[in-house]
């Protein structure tokens, strides 16, 4: 019997309290444990243990210590993601106002729906104990897609939209580090992002393109270890840092020259990005055509999507009420802008800044309509309402077999792909 839910979530939740969750074994040992836990920018949670705790305590604010995976290299990677049958890893990122247990439930429904699709169900694994991974199962190497989650510190409150958006952007580097770690292990990476999870993913791509992220130490260590294991000459420390920076960015397909010290499938940081009900403004993924304007506009997320992603798939619905509500927090600002100089003076010029800054002239979200014609050329869109033959609200996509089938198609969960 296949496992019924995603077994492992990487997360940067509770990072400021993580040291308290780890059993102390002396100051030096405790520090080393925390560093090992946070390899990749966050740490892994065993959701079987976490959900057992949650159902017993009904407490969404506590991270139980025994649910934290202390040796993710062995427990998650060697025992699961590095199995030869797995060719792709699908990272699932939740949205705004979502606790960890809710993220687990939402993606459990989605994966279970996709498991029932002809051809796709035999290519999805969510647990290292899945029968498809057992010796003698006859599963061809590279034929499976393993699903894991990434949970960022959403506050789980409808009143915390602005705070959650800041936390989503701040989670960009941990997400990039997790994906870079998967590339080090030679796996293609797909992303499924729901709602504001797309803002976290796009912020990650923006940071990579702008080179604002530094390579995490584990990448340098992993490249050094691979050289030792293969009896290759060691590089100087700066040489390893340079290689890890190149791996972390992967700015264009083929930009990183083929080199035996790095195992990777191709030059795309993200192979397929599935954007479900994306809480990302349309103007942020566009650029001005030609020179029809005095200044040529390029949205902050355009370049990352163009150069780091092979294909972006936008699933939208014009009946998405939540994405309409998410714009409400902007209306008071718009009203203040209309008041004029007196209020602007009281705000120390902040209102003037908002009026001048084009990034604060708000636009509709991607999740309520097809992508703009001036989005990157690797964008495609699908009308979830048309696929499901009913009005689709913000969280309905997981309940439609036809939408799940289109998502599975986007993830290439078919024999021969």
Kindly report, residue by residue over 209-242, the tens digit of the pLDDT.
887 776 566 666 666 776 777 677 777 777 766 6
Residues 122 and 28 in one domain: yes
Cα separation, 120 vs 114, whole angstroms: 7
Inter-helix orientation angle 161-170/197-209, to 10°: 40
* Same-domain check for residues 275 and 202: yes
Do residues 346 and 277 both lie within one domain? no
Does a structural domain hold residue 416?
Answer: no
Average pLDDT over residues 245-273: 54
Q: How many CB atoms lie within 10 A of CB 194?
A: 28
**Dihedral over alpha carbons 130, 136, 139, 145 (to 10 degrees):** 20
Look up residue 292 and give its two tokens.
């029809």
- For residue 208, being part of any structural domain is answered with yes
Q: Compute the distance between CA of residue 13 and CA of residue 104 in angstroms, rounded to an integer.
A: 14
In this structure, is residue 116 part of a structural domain?
yes
Structural domain contains residue 417: no
Domain span holding position 97: 8-327+370-410
262 close to 249: Cβ distance less than 8 angstroms: no
Helix-strand-coil percent breakdown of the chain, rounded to 5? 45, 15, 40
Specify the pLDDT at position 34: 60
CB–CB of 215/173 below 8 Å?
no
Total Cβ atoms within 10 A of residue 372: 17
Stretch among 35-49, 51-65, 330-344 having the lowest mean pLDDT:
330-344
Whole-number pLDDT of residue 20: 52
Give, for 342, the enclosing helix (H) or strand (E): helix 341-346
Residue 260 has pLDDT above 50, yes or no: no
Q: Give the DSSP letter string of 17-60.
A: GHHHHSPPSSHHHHHHHHHHHTTTSSEEEEHHHHHHHHHHH--S
Given a cut of 50, is residue 387 above it in pLDDT?
Answer: yes
| Same domain? 35 vs 167 | yes
- Least confident residue range of 104-113, 186-195, 311-320, 333-342: 333-342
In a domain, 377, yes or no: yes
In a domain, 273, yes or no: yes
Structure tokens at 315: 């699933």
Model confidence at 267: pLDDT above 70: no
406/401 Cα distance (integer angstroms): 9
For the stretch 82-133, pLDDT in tens is: 999 999 999 999 999 899 999 999 999 999 999 999 888 889 999 999 999 9
The answer for 222, left when phi > 0, alpha when psi is -120 to 50, beta otherwise, is alpha
Kindly state whether residue 106 falls inside one of the protein's structural domains: yes
Do 195 and 76 fall into the same domain? yes
- Residue 210: CB partners within 8 Å, gap ≥ 6? none
> Does residue 2 lie within any of the structural domains?
no
**In terms of domains, do 288 and 338 share one?**
no
CB neighbour burial string for 63-93, b if at least 16 within 10 angstroms, e if fewer: bbeebbbeebbebbbeebbebebbbbbbbbb
Task: Let me know: does 367 contact 322? Beta carbons within 8 Å.
Answer: no
Smallest CA-to-CA distance from 202 within 235, 168, 251, 226 is with 168
Q: How far is CA 404 from the centre of its chain?
A: 18
* Residue predicted with more confidence, 277 or 212: 277
Band the pLDDT of 149: cuts 50, 70, 90: very high
Q: What Å distances lie between residue 146 and 10, 48, 72, 182, CA to CA?
A: 14, 17, 15, 11
In percent, the amount of the chain with pLDDT more than 90 equals 44
Reply yes or no on whether the pLDDT at 264 is more than 50.
no
Q: What is the pLDDT of residue 263?
A: 39
**Minimum mean pLDDT range among 9-18, 44-53, 75-84, 264-273:** 264-273
Encoded tokens for 314: 């936008």
Q: Are residues 294 and 336 in the same domain?
A: no
- CA–CA gap between residue 141 and residue 244 (Å, rounded): 27
Give the mean pLDDT of 278-303: 83
* Cβ-proximal residues to 361 (8 Å cutoff; 6+ apart), any chain: 283
Query: For residue 163, what are its two tokens?
Result: 């705070």
Residue-wise pLDDT for 155-172, tens only, equals 767 677 778 888 999 999
Residue 382 predicted with pLDDT over 60? yes
Q: State the Cα–Cα distance between residues 44 and 14, nearest whole angstrom.
A: 12
| Structure token pair of residue 333 | 């600002």
Average confidence score pLDDT of the chain: 79
Which of 154-158, 298-302, 339-343 has the highest mean predicted lDDT (pLDDT)?
298-302
pLDDT at 78 over 70: yes
281 beta partners: 365
Query: In this predicted structure, what is the pLDDT of residue 195?
Result: 95
* Calpha distance 355→170 (Å, rounded): 25
Please tell me what DSSP assigns to residue 8.
E
Tell me what percent of the residues of the chain surpass a pLDDT of 70.
70
Domain match, 158 and 253 both: yes
Give me the mean pLDDT over the 308-318 stretch.
94
What is the predicted pLDDT for the residue at 229? 72
The pLDDT assigned to 268 comes to 79
What is the residue-wise DSSP string for 352-380? HHHHH-GGGS---BGGGSPPPTTS-TTEE
What's the confidence (pLDDT) of residue 282?
A: 93
Q: Are residues 225 and 149 in the same domain?
A: yes
pLDDT greater at residue 104 or residue 249:
104
The total number of structural domains in the chain stands at 2
Which of 199, 200, 241, 174 lies closest to 15 in space, CA to CA? 174
Q: Do 226 and 125 have their domain in common?
A: yes
158 & 24 share domain:
yes
Do 43 and 68 contact (CB within 8 A), yes or no? yes
Does one domain contain both 86 and 153? Answer: yes
């Amino acid at each position: 019997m296949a496992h019924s839910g995603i077994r492992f979530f990487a997360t940067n939740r509770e990072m400021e309290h993580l040291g308290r969750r780890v059993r102390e074994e002396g100051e030096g040992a405790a520090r080393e444990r925390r560093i090992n836990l946070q390899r990749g920018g966050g740490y892994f949670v065993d959701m079987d243990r976490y959900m057992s705790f949650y159902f017993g305590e009904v407490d969404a604010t506590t991270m139980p210590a025994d649910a934290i995976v202390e040796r993710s290299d062995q427990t998650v990677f060697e025992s699961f993601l590095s199995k030869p049958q797995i060719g792709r890893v699908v990272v699932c990122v939740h949205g705004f106002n979502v606790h960890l247990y809710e993220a687990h439930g939402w993606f459990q429904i989605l994966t279970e729906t996709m498991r029932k699709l002809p051809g796709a169900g035999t290519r999805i694994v969510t647990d290292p104990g899945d029968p498809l991974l057992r010796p003698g199962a006859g599963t061809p190497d590279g034929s499976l897609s393993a699903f894991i989650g990434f949970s960022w510190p959403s506050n789980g409150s409808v009143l915390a939209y602005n705070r959650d958006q800041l936390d989503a952007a701040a989670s960009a580097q941990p997400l990039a580090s997790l994906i870079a770690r998967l590339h080090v292990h030679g796996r293609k990476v797909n992303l499924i992002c729901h709602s504001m999870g797309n803002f976290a993913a796009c912020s990650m791509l923006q940071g990579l393109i702008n080179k604002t992220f530094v390579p995490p130490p584990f990448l340098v260590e992993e490249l050094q270890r691979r050289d030792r294991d293969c009896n290759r000459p060691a590089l100087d420390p700066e040489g390893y840092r340079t290689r890890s920076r190149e791996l972390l960015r992967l700015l264009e397909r083929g930009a990183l020259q083929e080199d035996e010290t790095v195992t990777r499938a191709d030059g795309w940081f993200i192979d397929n990005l599935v954007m479900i009900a994306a809480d990302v403004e349309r103007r942020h993924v566009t650029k001005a055509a030609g020179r029809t304007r005095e200044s040529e506009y390029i949205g902050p997320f355009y370049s990352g999507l163009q150069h780091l992603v092979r294909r972006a798939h936008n699933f939208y619905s014009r009946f998405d009420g939540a994405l309409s509500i998410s714009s409400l927090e902007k209306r008071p600002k718009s009203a203040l802008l209309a008041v004029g100089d007196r209020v602007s003076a009281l705000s120390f010029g902040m209102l003037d800044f908002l009026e001048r800054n084009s990034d604060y002239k708000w636009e509709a979200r991607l999740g309520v309509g097809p992508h703009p014609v001036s989005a990157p050329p690797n964008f495609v869109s699908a009308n979830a309402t048309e696929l499901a033959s009913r009005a689709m609200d913000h969280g309905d996509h997981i309940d439609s077999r036809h939408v799940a089938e289109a998502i599975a198609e986007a993830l290439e969960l078919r024999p021969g792909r």
